[in-house]
Structure 1
């Protein structure tokens, strides 16, 4: 299983990433650990906006790449309507299925630290 996630930073920017363990990755970003992303080290992560799960790392990397290239308004729309991810990117996703994981939030992962 692999996950694609979008976090919102304090400057209102959105960061998109992939992980096998979302909780570990959120702690790396939030606490600015050495293994965290350069982007989130310079911007405090404020919230976990969306998570999708898929069966393969390659599929996760593919979706991450497409989402990263969207304009901010398109990313906001995708957050509001996460079920449209396959419709939005169509055949580019090569038949991979992406399941939204609503109800996850940053605090639930930080409480384990």
Structure 2
């Protein structure tokens, strides 16, 4: 069964208030960014201390494993390469 866009996995990058970049994966980017901006335990510990965060990049992937591999690739990049990716 083919996956629809709404069921896709996404790799995303958010810019934090301290100008650092945080990379993650999710099935719902808007929900995840809202979680990062909340005091909820669902927010990553890293982003809770650096709010607010702003979405600067997202990329659709066909599966969780593909998204996780791409996340790993992005996390290994230098900041300048991440900024170039974000446009």
Query: TM-score, normalized by length of structure 1?
Result: 0.67
User: For 1:49, what is the secondary structure of its paired residue?
Assistant: strand
Distance of 1:46 and 1:30 partners within structure 2: 6
How far does residue 62 in structure 1 lie from its aligned partner after superposition? 0.3
What's the CA shift string for 1:9-35, capped at 9, x where partnerless?
Answer: 011100000001112211110113101
Equivalent in the alignment of 1:14: 21
Give me the whole-angstrom Cα distance separating, in 2, the residues matched to 1:46 and 1:36. 11
Moved over 2 A (4+): none
TM-score, normalised via structure 2 length: 0.86
CA RMSD of aligned residues (A): 1.0
Aligned residues: 80
Q: Which runs of 5+ in 2 are unaligned?
A: 1-7
Query: Is the 2:47–2:53 Cα contact (8 Å) retained in structure 1?
Result: no
Residue 54 of structure 1: aligned partner: 61
Name the SS of the counterpart of 2:18 in structure 1. coil
